[in-house]
Amino acid sequence: MSSIVPVVSVEGLRVRFTTPDATVSAVNGVDFALEPGRVLGILGESGSGKTVTLRALIGLLPRGHSHVEGRITVAGHEITKISEAELREVRGTKIAMIFQEPMTALDPVFTIGEQIAETIVRHEGVSRADAYRRALDLLEMVQIPSAVRRLNSYPHEMSGGMRQRAMIAVALSCRPAVLLADEPTTALDVTVQIQIIVLLRQLQRELGMAVVFVTHDVGVAVEVADRIAVMYAGRFVETGPTETVICSPAHPYTAGLLASTVLGAAQGQRLDTIPGTPPDMTSLPPGCSFAPRCRFAETGCHRALPPEFALASDHAVRCLRVAAGEIAVAEP
């Protein structure tokens, strides 16, 4: 797997936000590499740093208020080093993002057609007529019914599912190599959510895009991701192929998250929950951030941050028990 050049590579990413009162350590050392045409699902609860990681990848964190450390390379561009002008060139053509709430991500005073055409004209310098033709193709690609009419619709005239499709069309307008998706199906009804998931998977395959998909929903992550990274307190605590992480989780947090996710079978029985609440990101414990909630925690866990241990060539876990050989995961 290592011979292919990754299209996204992240090394030692740390993001801190400073306010007069406190410093929030939102991301605390994230490393990963993503090859072209692969889908990474980042699974985590609110405040785990998944959205901040995504925004760092596309350079959307407010410069001035946020402190970003580490190296982020997207399609040969070092996001943390380049100027705002260069960043504008990279966004759209190399990397694009879709958001949870299309109503706030789309501009309410321009039609969908204008918003797609604007991106194409800006990046490729084609005529507006050509850009509109491309916009129509894009709306058909994201399967919006009666696309010709919808080109002239404003976002408020569309339903939630259709707006999400339109936002995907805007994001894909300049054929980015990497698509970032920040909970794009969370605000949708289940019957619409599955349509968007199936569409995204189909487009990803057809266009050969790499996708980073952030979600809090285990089911959604399972549906879209080739690999899953479970995030807790700004770190990846477990990364591996979707099947390995879901079917034989090694980190106690992953196991706890899966056990507390309600699934059909165990009706009315008490759930096996993770005690306590997620840590305060302004004052993280020095050791493993999950140790205060972990039933297996020992003194060593509270003392120092566990490094990543490789359980298999493609499965890494930040847990001392794994290092001590207390958990051995059978290859599925």
Partner 1 sequence: MRPLLAVDGLTKHFPLRGGPLNRTKAVVQAVDDVSFEVGAGETLGIVGESGCGKSTTARLLMHLVPLDHGTIAFDGKAVGAGAGLSRRDLHRQMQMVFQDSYASLNPRLPVAMSIAFGPLVHGLAKSASLARARDLLQAVGLDPMLFANRYPHELSGGQRQRINVARALALEPRLVILDEAVSALDKSIEAQVLNLLIDIKEQFDLTYIFISHDLNVVRFISDRVLVMYLGKVVELGPVDRIYREPRHPYTKALLSAMPSMDPRRRTMDAPLSGDPPNPINPPSGCRFRTRCPFAEAVCADVPPTLTMGHDGRAVACHMLVSGSGHRRA
| Residue 170 CB, nearest approach to partner 1 (Å) | 19
Site stretch for partner 1 (CB under 8 A), options 91-99, 102-110, 203-211, 259-267: 259-267
* Least separation in angstroms between CB 194 and partner 1: 4
Residues in 113-132 at the binding interface with partner 1, rule: CB under 8 A: none
**Does residue 189 touch partner 1 according to CB under 8 A?**
yes
20-50: buried (b, 16+ CB within 10 Å) or exposed (e) per residue? eeeebbbbbbbbbbbbebbbbbbbbeebbbb
Nearer to partner 1, 192 or 297 (CB): 192
- Token pair, residue 137, equals 């193709």
263 contributes a contact to partner 1 by CB under 8 A: yes
Measured between alpha carbons, how far is 303 from 188 in angstroms, rounded to an integer? 43
Does 23 participate in binding partner 1 (rule CB under 8 A)?
A: no
In a 3-state reduction of DSSP, which class is residue 78?
strand
The backbone torsions φ and ψ at residue 195, rounded to the nearest 5 degrees and listed phi first, read -65, -45
Q: Which of 61, 90, 136, 197 binds partner 1 (CB under 8 A)?
A: 197
Q: Quick one: which of 36, 37, 160, 300 contacts partner 1 (CB under 8 A)?
A: 160
Contact 42, 254 (CB under 8 A): no
CB distance 274 to 260 below 8 Å: yes
Residue 193 binds partner 1 (CB under 8 A): yes
Smallest gap, in angstroms, from Cβ of residue 264 to partner 1? 5
Both tokens assigned to 263: 């699934």
The answer to whether residue 184 forms part of the interface with partner 1 (CB under 8 A) is: no
Exposure of 257 by Cβ count < 10 A (0-12 exposed, 13-18 middle, 19+ buried)?
buried
Q: Which of 36, 37, 70, 219 binds partner 1 (CB under 8 A)?
A: 219
Least Å distance, CB 36 to partner 1, is 21
Note whether 218 binds partner 1 by CB under 8 A: yes
Half-sphere exposure of 114 (CA within 13 A, CB side): 10
Specify the residue, 119 or 242, whose C-beta has the smaller distance to partner 1: 242
**In the complex with partner 1, which residue's Cβ is closer, 23 or 260?**
260
Strand partners, 72: 10
CB of 259 to partner 1, least distance (A): 8
Q: Is 289 in the site for partner 1 (CB under 8 A)?
A: no
Number of residues that bind partner 1 (CB under 8 A): 46
Answer yes or no whether residue 222 interacts with partner 1 by CB under 8 A.
Answer: yes
The helix or strand, by DSSP H or E, that contains position 244, with its residue range, turns out to be: helix 242-247
Return the residue of 278, 285, 292, 300 that touches partner 1, per CB under 8 A.
Answer: 278
Q: How far apart are CA 75 and CA 82, in angstroms?
A: 13
Residue identified by tokens 């490729």 is 124
**Of the residues 49, 240, 249, 256, which one makes contact with partner 1 according to CB under 8 A:** 256
Q: How far apart are CA 26 and CA 7, in angstroms?
A: 24
The residue with tokens 């692969």 is 38
Question: CA-CA distance, 11 to 31, in Å (whole number)?
Answer: 5
Chain residues binding partner 1 by CB under 8 A are 45-46, 145, 159-162, 189-195, 197-198, 216-220, 222-223, 242-243, 246-247, 256-257, 259-264, 266-268, 270-275, 277-278
